[in-house]
Chain A
Amino acid sequence: MCPSFTVETVKNRSTGQESRVCIKGEFGLKYRAVCLAIPVKVVSIDGDEAETEIGGVRRRVSIAFTPEAKVGDYVLLHTGYAITVVDEAEAEETLKLLEEIASLSEVH
Chain B
Amino acid sequence: MKFIDEYQDTRLARGLARRIAQHSTKTVRLMEFCGGHTHAILRYGIRQLVPRTVELRSGPGCPVCVTASADLDKAIALAHVPGVIITTFGDMIRVPGSYSSLQKAKAEGADVRVVYSTIDAVEIAKANPRNSVILIGIGFETTAPTIAASILKAQQDRIENFYVLSLNKLTPPVMKALLDSGEVKLDGIVGPGHVSVIIGSHPYEFIPRDYGVACVISGFEPLDILLCIDKLVEQIAEGEPKVEIAYPRGVKPEGNRKARQLMEEVFEIGEANWRGIGIVPESGLKIGGKYEQFDADKAFSVSLKPSKEPKGCRCGDVIRGTATPLECRLFRKVCTPERPVGPCMVSSEGACAAYYQYGAAEDL
Contact = CB atoms under 8 A, between A and B. Distances in A.
B118 interface: yes
A83 B259 contact: yes
A8 B104 contact: yes
B198 interface: yes
B104 A98 contact: no
Interface residues of B, number: 72
B2 A98 contact: no
Contact of B194 (A76, A88, A106): A76
A46 interface: no
Contacts of B69: none
B3 interface: yes
Given A23-B107, A34-B35, A80 B19 contact: no
Contacts of B119: 62, 80
A101 B16 contact: yes
Interface string A12-54: 1100000001011111111111111111010000000000001
Main secondary structure of the interface of A (DSSP, over half): mixed
Contacts of A26: 93, 103, 106
A10 interface: yes
A38 B62 CA distance: 18
Contacts of B223: 98
A39 B1 CA distance: 8
Nearest to B353: A30
A64 B146 CA distance: 9
A39 B220 contact: no
Contacts of A81: 117, 145-146, 149
Contact of B256 (A3, A55, A83, A101): A83
Contacts, number: 190
A90 B259 contact: no
A13 B103 CA distance: 15
A106 B15 contact: yes
Given A6-B338, A34-B349, A87-B249, A105 B19 contact: yes
Interface in B85-138: 89-91, 93-94, 103-104, 106-109, 114, 116-120, 138
B145 A83 contact: yes
Interface string A61-97: 0101111000000101011110110111011011101
A79 B248 contact: no
Contacts of A36: 36, 194
Contacts of A11: 108
Contact of B14 (A3, A55, A80, A102): A102
Interface string B25-51: 000000000111101000000000000
A79 B90 contact: no
B37 to A, nearest CB: 7
Given A37-B194, A101-B15, A102-B12, A91 B249 contact: yes
16 contacts: A27-B91, A28-B114, A30-B348, A33-B89, A33-B139, A35-B349, A37-B194, A78-B146, A79-B117, A80-B120, A84-B256, A94-B227, A98-B16, A98-B223, A98-B227, A104-B15
Interface of A: 3, 6, 8, 10-13, 21, 23-39, 41, 54-55, 62, 64-67, 74, 76, 78-81, 83-84, 86-88, 90-91, 93-95, 97-99, 101-106, 108
